[in-house]
Amino acid sequence: MHKFFYYSLLALIIVGCTPYGSPKEEVQPVQEYREELTEDYVERVNNKYKEPEKKQKPQQKQQQVDIKPNRDSLVDIHKLWWYKKMHSEESKKAPVTLKDLYVKTLNHSNQVKVFSDIPIIRSTGIQEAEGEFDPVIYAEGGYNRVNEPVGNVLKTGDDNDFKENELYFEAGIKKKFSPGTEVQVSEKLQRIQNNSEFTDPNPQSIATLSVSIIQPLLRGAGIEYNESLYRLAKIDSKIAKKEFKRQLETHLLEVTRAYWALYLAQASLTLRREMVKNIEDINREIKQRSELDALQSEIYHTESALAFHRARIIRAETVVKNSRDRLLTLINDPQYIYDSDTLVLGDIPFTKWNDIELKKSLLQSMRNRPELEQAYLQIRASTIRLNMTKNELLPILDGIVEFAFTGLRAENDMGGAIGDQFAGGDPGARFGFRFEYPIWNRKARARHTRRQVEKRQLINQFKTTMENVLFEVKVSIREVETTYQEFLARQKAFVAAQKEINALKNRRVLETVLQGNKGVSSFLQALLQSQNNYLETQFQLVKSMIDYNLAITNLKRSEGTFLSFENIETVIEEDENGLPMWRTVINSYEDKYTSK
């Protein structure tokens, strides 16, 4: 009988591991999903953006050249007065670069801490799914009293009422295994005393050791089905990590924008202060010429311009403060809470042109964008859920095997009863099955249909995401090219405005030599107008340079290379309450666009 018990258990486990039902869709590794889903897009990119042939028609060759921005820079930005003033050694006692701010953001930003908790929360689902297979210890005890009339003298003898007192205690352990097998081992102890003449011994102690095995044969059978929740939890954890990467990129991109917005605000303030000095000089000179050739209206005009630009300085100072506070809000570094003025920008804007290949950028985005990684994993998870519903379409058919070892002693000899469990002959046994199947099975069919539609939806959603990613890359590259062309055009406008001022100053000297002091005020008015134009061209020049740097950063984000994720190390630590938390560290940072 003991051998039969082991053979029965082995047979049920083997049957439970056997895949039943309709063929399941293969759950491919993520890499295979990526290659399969992106195959058409990679082929389309490779065919559309082929390397130009050696022999090419003149018109096509001209078009190929035209899409490249003009690289001839008219102005050396690093030699302009405002640039030197902003980046002089006196104003950069403790400068911080964008990389420094990234590190500070990762260490202190509350928003980053919110993002970093997402993978921790999702990873608990893995442990929760593993908990389905944890052993369960249980115990139950109580007292039963029976007092009921009987209609059969063989039950009690002479008494018309059957009276029984029972004390019982049952404890055991049960566990579910990967094939779906449920095993339960329990020990039940009873002390029974009644008024039946046929109970012997009376009172009596009973000990029963039972082993129960239930093995699903159709629905719920197999390792693949029963470990599906665990595999889904692992996929969900990976999706959370990709989501963390996407949100972290978005936040650091906001830090980058705030950084350059502050740079632009400080440059604008520097330019406007210099403009006020120039207008003050003109206003002072016009007032001095009030008795020579300057009209009262010209004096009022210069005073109005001076008041206007002084008011603009007030606004510019507010913009600087707001931009600085916006940047510090994204970082949350306690170093700047009480002394935000110590934040001094140290990065130098990038002004050179680096060749950008559209084909290379498109292929990089397919490999690196976290949104696409999430889409791959979601489709993989949908396949697992679809296979689960295919299994749930099957009827419930469970095989049941149960064995019991019983010992009996008189009075309160419970120890002897426990020993008699194994001293007797073969154990008692029960073999059976349980079958259940809804007539129309509409619930399972509806779930199966829903999972099929969901997978189709996710595939279409992936295609939509892919199209949007490719669109973003194209727009980002065009924006880089456009902003650089604008930067070069702003240089031309700046050079022309500078030449205009120099020409007016030279003309004034000439007119002074030819006509003496007469007519100088008109040149001062013209110089005032050119100063306004000169200020605007310088501001637009700085803005176009900042726009170019932001366009480069946005291109890296659209390519999925803004964060070199392999250089971001996440270490799981414990907070002050002993809860797990992620600490994110940048090991190294290489900017392929601005490293030269």
Retrieve residue 393's tokens. Answer: 């379409």
Segments making up each domain of the chain, as ranges: 2-19+135-221+386-449, 71-108+229-382+473-586
Strand (E) positions, 154-241? Answer: 161-176, 182-194, 204-216
The predicted pLDDT at position 78 comes to 79
**CA-CA-CA-CA dihedral for 282, 285, 289, 293, to nearest 10:** -30
Q: Inform me whether the pLDDT recorded for 478 exceeds 90.
A: yes
Question: What CA–CA distances, in Å, run from 587 to 2, 103, 527, 590?
Answer: 61, 10, 54, 10
Is residue 155 a contact partner of residue 196, using CB atoms and an 8 Å limit?
A: yes
The predicted pLDDT at position 30 comes to 57
The predicted pLDDT at position 25 comes to 59
| Residue at 468: amino acid letter | N
Retrieve residue 495's tokens. Answer: 């050079």
Label residue 520 by pLDDT band (50, 70, 90).
low
β-partners of residue 215 are 399
- pTM for the model stands at 0.81
Q: Inform me whether the pLDDT recorded for 233 exceeds 90.
A: yes
d(C-alpha 453, C-alpha 445), whole Å: 12
The predicted pLDDT at position 80 comes to 84
pLDDT tens readout for residues 38-63: 888 888 888 877 655 444 444 443 33
Q: Which residue has the higher pLDDT, 74 or 553?
A: 553
Is residue 331 a contact partner of residue 101, using CB atoms and an 8 Å limit?
A: yes
Q: Which residue has the higher pLDDT, 518 or 161?
A: 161
The predicted pLDDT at position 465 comes to 93
* DSSP class of 343: -
- Across residues 166-187, what is the average pLDDT? 92
d(C-alpha 69, C-alpha 282), whole Å: 40
Label residue 26 by pLDDT band (50, 70, 90).
low
pLDDT tens readout for residues 375-398: 999 999 999 999 999 999 999 999
Is residue 508 a contact partner of residue 523, using CB atoms and an 8 Å limit?
A: yes
* DSSP class of 340: G
Superfamily of domain covering 71-108+229-382+473-586: Outer membrane efflux proteins (OEP) (1.20.1600.10)
Retrieve residue 161's tokens. Answer: 């009422």
Q: Inform me whether the pLDDT recorded for 479 exceeds 50.
A: yes
d(C-alpha 189, C-alpha 174), whole Å: 18
Residues counted in the chain: 596
The predicted pLDDT at position 561 comes to 86
- Across residues 139-143, what is the average pLDDT? 94
d(C-alpha 178, C-alpha 276), whole Å: 79
Is residue 194 a contact partner of residue 202, using CB atoms and an 8 Å limit?
A: yes
pLDDT tens readout for residues 550-563: 999 999 999 988 87
Is residue 194 a contact partner of residue 145, using CB atoms and an 8 Å limit?
A: no
Label residue 588 by pLDDT band (50, 70, 90).
low
Label residue 163 by pLDDT band (50, 70, 90).
confident
CA nearest 365: which of 550, 553, 596, 562? 562
Q: Inform me whether the pLDDT recorded for 22 exceeds 80.
A: no
